[in-house]
Amino acid sequence: MKLIANWKKAWRMLSVQAMALAGAVQGAWMFIPDGMRSSIPANVVQAVTIALLVLGVVGRLVDQPKVK
């Protein structure tokens, strides 16, 4: 395994940001109290997470001038 040449700028990449947000959504979901969690449908949280992960894949394929 080898790091990409511009690994120090990885935080600027849309793919990294989207995957970090997906992890944050799932992490926050675990710590929300049950009373609040019942007011938010679980499938909405899953859909948001999946959308962020798909955005991460798209972000990996799109040219990002800020990273160069």
Cβ neighbours for 40, distance < 8 A, ≥ 6 positions apart: 32
Q: What is the pLDDT of residue 67?
A: 84
CB under 8 Å to 55, separation ≥6 — which residues? 14, 18
Q: What integer pLDDT is reported at residue 66 of this predicted model? A: 82
Identify the pLDDT of residue 44: 96
**Residue pLDDT, tens place only, 6-55:** 899 999 999 999 999 999 999 999 999 999 999 999 999 999 999 999 99
Query: pTM of the entire structure?
Result: 0.85
pLDDT of residue 1: 87
